Amino acid sequence: MDLTPRFSVSEFLEVVNQTLNYAFPTVEIEGEVSSIKTSKNKWVFFDLKDEESTVNCFTTVFQLRTPPEEGMKIVVRGTPHLTKAGRFSITIQKIMPVGEGSIKKAFEMLKEKLSKEGLFNPAKKRPIPDNLQTIGIISSTTAAGYADFCRILNNRWGGLTLKVANCGVQGLSASDEICKALDYFNEEGAVDIIAIVRGGGSKDDLAVFNDESLARKIASSRIPIITGIGHEIDESLADLAADIRASTPTNAAEMLTRDKVAEIANIHDNLSHVAQFIVHYTDTLKSTNISAITSISGIIEARIENAKNELRNQQKLLLSLNPEHVLKQGYAILSGNLSPGSKITITTHDKLIEAKVENVHKR
Amino acid sequence: MSINDKITKLNTATQWFYSDDFNLDEAETKYKEAFNLAKEIEKDLDELKNHIEIINKDFTK
């Protein structure tokens, strides 16, 4: 008995599609883009090929987060199936460029497009809020970048609540996960800032942060966003769309927190300056007092000297008026009745002379 | 009082020394207060830890 199944064409295609769907519900295929066609500005068809083979791909314009170009190397995630016309095709859910050249080209194209839309406008950037209490972190909890970020935060400051959305940070589904985490934080609204962190990696690893939807989601976030992705040289669309770009996860942690060691040193410095100020102030007061005392002493001494001089002058005057002084100058004091025949006494410096008045004439 | 509030209080306390209100009679008391507040802040900073909370949600779905 022949057990070979017999189908109608439609049945056969349906069975093959079921088999494909069972074996490969989703696949990722890496290849080079060729023969891109857009229909009605809605449907996108292109071939994905390597050196030997080609596969047809189909997607919608709305699902294109990275614009494919002729010759661009990409990895697609999608579902394989046979169309009703019997053509084998991949219905694409996601595209990501691979290889440095393709990533750079896709990045530049999207950067220009989003820049024209004003997504990266510096005037829209918000600063890190003051007095941070709660930080929303989007990262993979197993990633080195996340560990660095938390370690630096813990070393620098305390008392913060860190709410962590554990997401993939590389691979085709990572950008969707990050977008969902951003939605979660924006809907919950329970964080002051959102930090998207991921350590260094290859261009392919970091390509997730050049996703158009992710860049748009970041730019439209109600809550300010800081990115710390890769290294200083790795610039992504996520970085450009964020409010603040830190060069690394470590740098992001440094930007978000004060350093308690520096804060304590600053407090010690301030107190030390105050102590020095008090010492200087009291020294100045002492010095002022000493100056005042010195000045008063000088005034008193001058006054005493003046008084002494005055006294000396008085003494000189008194001395000059002393009769004995006059007598020493050769003068004499004549005492007694000045009439002829009377006796008088003549007092000189060293003698008392008794004399008799003979005549008295007017001068 | 939060650490930030304490730091603000300490800054205000130290500014007093450079203000017109400064006087030597109160300086010693004010300095002791500032010194004790500084010690308190240092202790708080050493003891304070961040609280990490992993959100219980699967973002792959």
For A305-363, how does the pLDDT look when each residue is reduced to its tens digit (9 = 90+)?
999 999 999 988 888 888 888 888 899 999 999 889 999 999 999 999 999 999 988 88
Residues 240-299 of A with CB under 8 A from B: 260, 263-264, 267-268, 270-271, 273-275, 277-278, 281-282, 285
pTM of the model: 0.68
Q: Which two tokens stand for residue A3?
A: 């057990």
For A186-210, how does the pLDDT look when each residue is reduced to its tens digit (9 = 90+)?
999 889 999 999 998 888 788 889 9
The answer to whether residue A104 scores a pLDDT higher than 90 is: no
Strands of A343-347's sheet, edge to edge? A333-336, A343-347, A352-356
Is A131-257 the same fold as A10-98?
no
- Residue B3 to chain A, least CA–CA distance (Å): 9
Break chain B into its structural domains and give their ranges.
3-59
Distances (CA, A) of A267 to A159, A202, A261, A274, B5: 19, 43, 10, 11, 14
Break chain A into its structural domains and give their ranges.
10-98, 131-257, 261-318, 324-356
B55 and A163 in contact by Cβ < 8 A?
A: yes
Q: Are A80 and A51 in contact (CB under 8 A)?
A: no
Spatial CB neighbours of B17, under 8 Å, sequence gap ≥ 6: A274, A277, A278, B27, B30, B31
- Give the angle subtended at the CA of A109 by the CAs of A107 and A111, to the nearest 5°: 65
Q: Are A60 and A25 in contact (CB under 8 A)?
A: no
Q: A131-257 in CATH: which number?
A: 3.40.50.2300
Scanning the structure block, which residue is given the tokens 């010095």?
A287
**Fold entry, domain A10-98:** OB fold (Dihydrolipoamide Acetyltransferase, E2P) (2.40.50)
Scanning the structure block, which residue is given the tokens 């066609």?
A37
Q: Is B14 on the interface with A (CB under 8 A)?
A: yes
ipTM for the complex shown? 0.84
Q: Is B23 on the interface with A (CB under 8 A)?
A: no
Mean pLDDT over each residue of chain B, to the nearest integer: 90
